[in-house]
Amino acid sequence: MKASEVLESLKQRFPNEPEYHQAVEEVLGTIEEEYNKHPEFDKFNLIERLCIPDRIYTFRVNWVDDKGNYQTNMGYRVQHNNAIGPYKGGIASIHL
């Protein structure tokens, strides 16, 4: 596995996700050397299974700011492969 090739492929597939690209780059850079010591990992397509989420939930979040204005944001819950245990993670939201 070459982390740079995987990252370029994901950038083409998900071009508008810079935070995702950064996270993948950090993780793959950390595991690349050890991963390459185990060629049997490719048989199980582990990199794609790690990089592509199983589910993405989106939902609306309504709230009132300190000035009494009503705000609406989008919340996201991204669940990646649960091969190493139960899903973990939190909720992220962006301002519209």
Closest CA to 32 of 62, 6, 8: 6
- 7: alpha, beta or left? (left if phi > 0; alpha if psi -120 to 50): alpha
Report the number of distinct structural domains present in the chain.
2
- Could you tell me if 94 and 48 lie in one domain? no
- What would the pLDDT profile of 45-63 be if each residue is shown by its tens digit? 888 888 888 888 899 999 9
- Could you tell me if 2 and 34 lie in one domain? yes
Q: Is there a contact between 80 and 54 (Cβ–Cβ < 8 Å)?
A: yes
Q: Which two tokens mark 19? A: 């935070």
Residue with the larger pLDDT of the pair 87 and 4: 4
pTM of the complete model: 0.63
Residue 70 confidence class, pLDDT cut points 50, 70, 90: very high
Amino acid found at 6: V
Q: CA of 84: how far to CAs of 29, 71, 73, 80, in Å? A: 20, 37, 32, 10
State the residue range of the domain holding 10.
Answer: 1-52
